[in-house]
């Protein structure tokens, strides 16, 4: 499997002067939260535009389903738009993915970046168009959580065709989790809740031969256990090539069992390389990685290297 794998739809790399549309497929956000992201993207020479309904609000959703779907479809249909940057995650992407015009996605592929609940959107675009994407911070940018290194990582993933290498960081909580070995496969996954919630839907990808990426936030160890056990019992982990474990942020409760204990128990006996400590997810210093493209997980060396989601 190479970056030129014809089964993968890789959108053109973003270039200076390109217009990117900022959309909110999931939870609501505010202009003051997105202002920093606009400043950052503008500094890269891009032309960020806020989608018409990006600041809509309906309870925990960024407006009605029809509005959120309309912004996505407008982005995919407009030839002037070259990239789609989600403002944030939250909840709601699953409610609109069946409304996406996949024919428009296939006609004019554009790079889509986001994380957390956006895993549902990435899965849908993979199922409907085999579109590679970027798992990375949204436009509601927070410098305290995503400093310069995070910005440089997103810039590399969106605006260059260089492979992306992420190294395990000793300071990350999941760093002790490691099953040595080397695996090559397509990197698929993202937020663990959304992976589990996709089971039984048309969007659940075939993980046979894949490197599975998992990360999570604010889920206690027993819930992480429940989700991983669900995946195991469903059989979707049986044919994995390897597991890349990102940040499990604020995943603690009053029990002595830690989230690393759970991850070790539920992933350590799969018979494949497992690498924890990757700064990918909801924690400080979050880095960006392509999803849907070929990856090499070297758990012995402590690195995850992924071929680009974009092409020249």
Locus of tokens 């407006």: 63
* Rounded distance between C-alpha atoms, residue 289 and residue 30, angstroms: 26
CA distances from 92 to 52, 131, 243 (A): 17, 20, 26
List the beta strands (DSSP E) in 145-288. 164-167, 178-179, 182-191, 211-217, 242-249, 274-275
Strand partners, 190: 214
Q: How many DSSP H helices and E strands does the chain contain? A: 8, 14
Stated as kind and residue range, the H or E segment containing 230 is helix 221-234
Distance CA(305)–CA(285), nearest Å, equals 18
Respond yes or no: is residue 282 known to be catalytic: yes
Catalytic position from the list 135, 153, 219, 282? 282
Q: How many CB atoms lie within 10 A of CB 119?
A: 29
Among residues 35, 40, 68, which one has the least CA distance to residue 52?
A: 68
Query: Is 215 among the residues known to form the active site?
Result: yes
Q: Is 297 helix (H, G, I), strand (E, B) or coil?
A: strand
Q: Which of 24, 116, 150, 153 is catalytic?
A: 116
Which residue in the list 215, 216, 219, 288 is annotated as catalytic? 215
Give the pair of three-digit tokens for residue 75.
Answer: 């982005």
Which positions are annotated as active-site residues?
116, 215, 282
């Amino acid at each position: 499997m190479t970056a030129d794998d014809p089964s993968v739809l890789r959108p053109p790399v973003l270039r200076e002067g390109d217009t990117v549309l900022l959309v909110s497929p999931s939870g609501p956000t505010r202009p003051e939260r997105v202002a920093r992201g606009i400043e950052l993207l503008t500094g890269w020479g891009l032309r960020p535009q806020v989608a018409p309904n990006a600041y809509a609000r309906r309870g925990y959703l960024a407006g009605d389903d029809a509005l959120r779907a309309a912004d996505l479809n407008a982005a995919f249909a407009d030839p002037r738009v070259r990239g789609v940057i989600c403002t944030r995650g939250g909840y709601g992407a699953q409610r609109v993915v069946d409304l996406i015009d996949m024919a428009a996605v296939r006609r004019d592929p554009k790079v889509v970046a986001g994380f957390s609940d956006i895993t549902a959107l990435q899965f849908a675009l993979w199922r409907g168009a085999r579109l590679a994407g970027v798992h990375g911070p949204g436009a509601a940018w927070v410098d305290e959580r995503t400093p310069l290194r995070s910005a440089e990582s997103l810039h590399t993933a969106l605006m260059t065709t260089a492979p992306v290498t992420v190294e395990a960081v000793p300071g990350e909580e999941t760093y002790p989790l490691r099953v040595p070995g080397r695996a090559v496969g397509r990197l698929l996954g993202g937020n663990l809740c959304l992976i589990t919630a996709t089971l039984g839907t048309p969007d659940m990808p075939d993980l046979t031969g894949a490197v599975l990426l998992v990360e999570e936030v604010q889920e206690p160890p027993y819930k992480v256990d429940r989700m991983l056990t669900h995946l195991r019992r469903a059989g979707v982990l049986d044919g994995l090539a390897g597991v890349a474990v990102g940040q499990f942020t604020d995943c603690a409760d009053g029990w002595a069992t830690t989230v690393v204990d759970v991850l070790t128990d539920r992933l350590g006996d799969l018979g494949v390389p497992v690498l924890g400590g990757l700064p990918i997810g909801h924690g400080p210093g979050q880095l960006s990685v392509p999803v849907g493209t070929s990856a090499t997980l070297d758990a012995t060396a402590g690195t995850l290297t992924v071929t680009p989601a974009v092409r020249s």
